Amino acid sequence: MNYLKMKGKIALVTGGAQGIGESVVRALIASGAVVAILDHNAAKLDSLVKELKLQGCNVTAFPVDISNSKAVNTVVDLIEDDIGPIDILVNVAGVLCMERISSLSDQDWEKTFAVNSTGAFNVSRSVSKYMIPRKNGSIVTIGSNATRVPRIAMAAYAASKAAATMFTKCLGLELAQYNIRCNIVSPGSTDTEMQWSLWKDENGARAVIEGSPEVFKIGIPLNKIAIPSDIADAVLFLASERANHITMIDLCVDGGATLGV
């Protein structure tokens, strides 16, 4: 028996070609879902989908920039027409800009919000318009534990993720009458390319676990960095019927790094 009851459900995952997004895609497929993947990186997207199709997985690639609302609407219409009604949306796509505020350019700020905030808005708006008349659906947005405490050199990222988090909660409130649940999973440090880009050397993981007092960042009480599947497991739970009475929640998966705040 499928514990999470995903068999035959159609899921759309943004940013699904790598990192947490890829892990979410693989977890959904393993649970029986049909998956449509959106990602701006056409090469990585094509490589992943070819691999999954060789394994017999029901998955389709859609190279798209989610900050472009017209492109998003076109792709969502195509999925609904050619694949079927979208049951699950997972907003994973995100970009990271590490700059202190005094050094942030207009372009850095705008790009970060364009993907992390506006991108989640574009896809959620487009998909929810189809979900509303069906009175069914589940939307999960990947936030960040950086929305809970200030971070040095992470103003753009933290603020954009905070915007996406509150947007998802407001969306959940508006869509509750249609039996559509909207939740957030907020990872902490996770073993992905985005995390690796922050490390200065091979001791990067240990430095993250131990914390950095000079940038006001505590360590990780569980003494380990998350792996992408840790985040995917939380996403699958909230997306599934096992979370049938849960909406507008922000589930933090960070090994205790934000001390439950």
Positions annotated as catalytic residues are 157
Cβ contact 7:13 at 8 Å: no
Cα 79 to Cα 7: distance, rounded to the nearest angstrom = 18
Reading the block at residue 93, the tokens are 């796509």
Q: Which of 219, 131, 139 is nearest to 182 (CA)?
A: 139
- How do beta strands 10-14 and 34-39 pair? parallel
H or E element that contains 139: strand 137-142
Alpha-carbon torsion, ordered 141, 48, 194, 207, to 10 deg: 110
Measured CA distances, 253 to 49, 144, 256 (Å): 27, 9, 8
Cα 164 to Cα 186: distance, rounded to the nearest angstrom = 11
Q: What is the maximum span of the chain, computed from C-alpha positions, in angstroms?
A: 55
Cβ contact 167:248 at 8 Å: no
